[in-house]
């Protein structure tokens, strides 16, 4: 695993210790950052990204490298993401780690205007987490929701689907949080 763009392009990340962690592929991550650019412009410096089911923290680290003002990483197991975020010593003040279950963890601090969610596939966790993350998001937050390509994922009414893309085994739903 490596950072694919921005300030830390090429920086190697530590691979997850558990086979239960499934990092988003480099190709899919690159495509998602292209989606973010098309919707937000090239300057991410005024945006804060929430990475839900952060796993290894690769997506959040990528967001830091590509210039996001700050990132929040939510996961029930933080060992892998702590190792990877520790590689970004100069960015420490821009990283917040929230240990807990994405379906129940209470909001803390500032809200986020971009969210990436990549729940374990086919376990029914995405909808539960989307409902809980309502308190974490700003109005009109842009959301990238990754599920397995054949997984049915009806969005709660507070999320309006704008687009859908497929990358290998993954399907990415682009949505807006309408509150």
Closest C-alpha to 22, from 148, 149, 175, 153: 148
Express each pLDDT in 118-142 by its tens digit: 999 889 899 999 999 999 999 999 9
Percentage helix, strand, coil for the chain under 3-state DSSP, each rounded to 5:
25, 30, 45
Alpha-carbon radius of gyration of the chain: 15
Q: Which domains does the chain have, with CATH numbers?
A: 47-177 (3.40.50.150)
What average pLDDT does this structure show over 80-86?
Answer: 94
Residue 18 has pLDDT above 70, yes or no: no
Mean pLDDT across the chain, nearest whole number? 92
Asked whether residue 1 carries a pLDDT value surpassing 90, the answer given is no
Token duo for residue 165: 């893309």
**Is pLDDT larger for residue 124 or for residue 143?**
143
Q: How far apart are CA 58 and CA 35, in angstroms?
A: 17
Amino acid 21: pLDDT: 60
Does residue 157 carry a pLDDT above 70?
Answer: yes
Q: Kindly report, residue by residue over 24-78, the tens digit of the pLDDT.
A: 777 788 899 999 999 999 999 999 999 999 999 999 999 999 999 999 999 999 9
Bridge partners of 133, per DSSP, are none
Work out whether strand 170-177 and strand 112-118 pair parallel, antiparallel, or are unpaired: unpaired
């Amino acid at each position: 695993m490596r950072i694919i763009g921005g300030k830390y392009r090429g920086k190697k990340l530590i691979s997850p210790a558990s086979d239960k962690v499934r990092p988003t592929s480099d190709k899919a991550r690159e495509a998602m950052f292209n989606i973010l650019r098309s919707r937000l412009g090239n300057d991410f410096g005024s945006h804060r990204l929430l990475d839900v089911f952060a796993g290894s923290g690769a997506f959040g680290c990528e967001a830091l490298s590509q210039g996001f003002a700050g990132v929040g990483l939510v996961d029930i197991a933080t060992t892998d993401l702590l190792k990877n975020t520790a590689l970004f010593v100069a960015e420490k003040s821009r990283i917040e780690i929230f240990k807990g279950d994405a379906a129940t963890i209470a909001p803390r601090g500032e809200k986020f205007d971009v969210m990436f969610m990549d729940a374990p596939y086919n376990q029914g966790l995405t909808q539960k987490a989307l409902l809980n993350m309502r308190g974490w998001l700003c109005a009109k937050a842009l959301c990238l929701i990754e599920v397995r390509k054949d997984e049915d994922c009806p969005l709660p009414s507070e999320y309006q689907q704008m687009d859908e893309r497929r990358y290998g085994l993954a399907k990415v739903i682009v949505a807006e949080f309408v509150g």
